[in-house]
Amino acid sequence: MARFNLYQEEFHPSPLKRTWIEFRQSHAALFGLWLFLFFILLMVLGPLLAPYDPLTQDINALLLPPAWDANGGINHLFGTDSLGRDLLSRLIYGCRVTLGISILLVFVAMLVGVAMGALAGMTKGVRSSIINHLLDSIMVIPTLLIAIIIVAILGTGLVNSMWAITLALIPQFVHTTRDFVRDELQKDYVMASRLDGAGKIYLFFNAVLPNMIEMLVVQGTMALSVAILDISALGFLNLGAQPPSPELGTMLSEGLKVAYISPLSIALPGCAIFLMVLSVNLVGDGLRSALRNRFKH
């Protein structure tokens, strides 16, 4: 049905609304968005939703089956682990810890990476050449391998793994920002501002940065999925969060010891990691398609 317009004027949605119109055309992207919002809800309301403290042990309730099992009970919906801790509570807190830390690390890496990338893109000469060659060499190495090397130097632990993953993610933002800034500085509107006497700082914050937001959103979703996998992998390898911390990778590592007795001990954190990464990737793909197609109609 045609849109009613009293003044017979063409309807021109804002860039943000046009992006949303294109984004919601993809059912997979919408599913990923709702799934991601569900994990955000768990992260924010985790302490209110969890029925038990994730660290509380009960020697009288070791390896209880889930509630739907004949020997299970309603007190522990997903059962308990080998130390009598409620699996549902640990799963909720595990999603909270893993996703919350990953978002924080991506935000910090984005701030540092954009600053360094802008410096590399707006400077020339020896400094720019050194930064560019150093970044190109680092980008070849997988982020998980970089994180493992940094953890090996700094030592194991959640805080050290957070530093390691942040340092491993920064080159990606620097590389993307550097290329974007270089391309943007060649455009006519930037050249016009430069001819009017605008300095580099003014050009970056008023001309380049506003057009970079969309690219950073897409790059941030890609980095978020990498951060979730890396922090879970370090926890699984006993290099990141240490037991009894309710982190998904650590829970997966602990669940391997009783996998044959309690399959849910590894199934629950594994599925949570899979769904978390899937939701982020679906949202990222949907955003890329929406930003690419929004001006075609």
Q: What pLDDT shows up at residue 143?
A: 81
238 sits in the region (left: phi over 0; alpha: psi -120 to 50; else beta) called left
Q: Of 234, 213, 232, 236, whose CA–CA distance to 224 is shortest?
A: 232
pTM of the entire predicted model: 0.87
Backbone angles phi, psi at 146, to 5 degrees: -60, -45
From first to last of its 297 residues, what are the pLDDT tens digits of the chain? 455 555 555 556 666 788 888 888 888 999 999 999 999 999 999 889 999 999 988 888 888 888 888 888 888 889 888 888 999 999 999 999 999 999 999 999 999 989 888 888 877 766 666 766 777 777 777 888 888 888 888 888 888 899 989 988 888 888 888 888 888 888 877 778 777 777 777 787 887 888 888 888 888 998 999 999 999 999 999 888 888 888 999 999 998 888 888 888 999 999 999 999 999 999 988 888 887 776 565
Tokens 């969309």 belong to 214
Q: What pLDDT shows up at residue 292?
A: 77
Q: Output the DSSP codes for 275-293.
A: HHHHHHHHHHHHHHHHHHH
The answer for residues whose C-beta is within 8 angstroms of residue 108's C-beta and 6 or more apart is 166
Distances (CA, A) of 252 to 2, 22, 40, 59, 240: 53, 38, 21, 21, 13
**In this structure, is the dihedral angle defined by the CA atoms of residues 282, 100, 145 and 258, taken in order, positive or negative?**
negative
Cβ(168)–Cβ(150) under 8 Å? yes
Q: What pLDDT shows up at residue 229?
A: 93
Distances (CA, A) of 184 to 204, 205, 290: 10, 12, 21
Q: What pLDDT shows up at residue 185?
A: 81
Cβ-in-10-Å burial (0-12, 13-18, 19+) of 108 comes to middle
Domains defined for the chain, CATH in brackets:
25-44+84-292 (1.10.3720.10)
What are the pLDDT digits (tens) for 192-219? 877 777 777 778 788 788 888 888 888 8
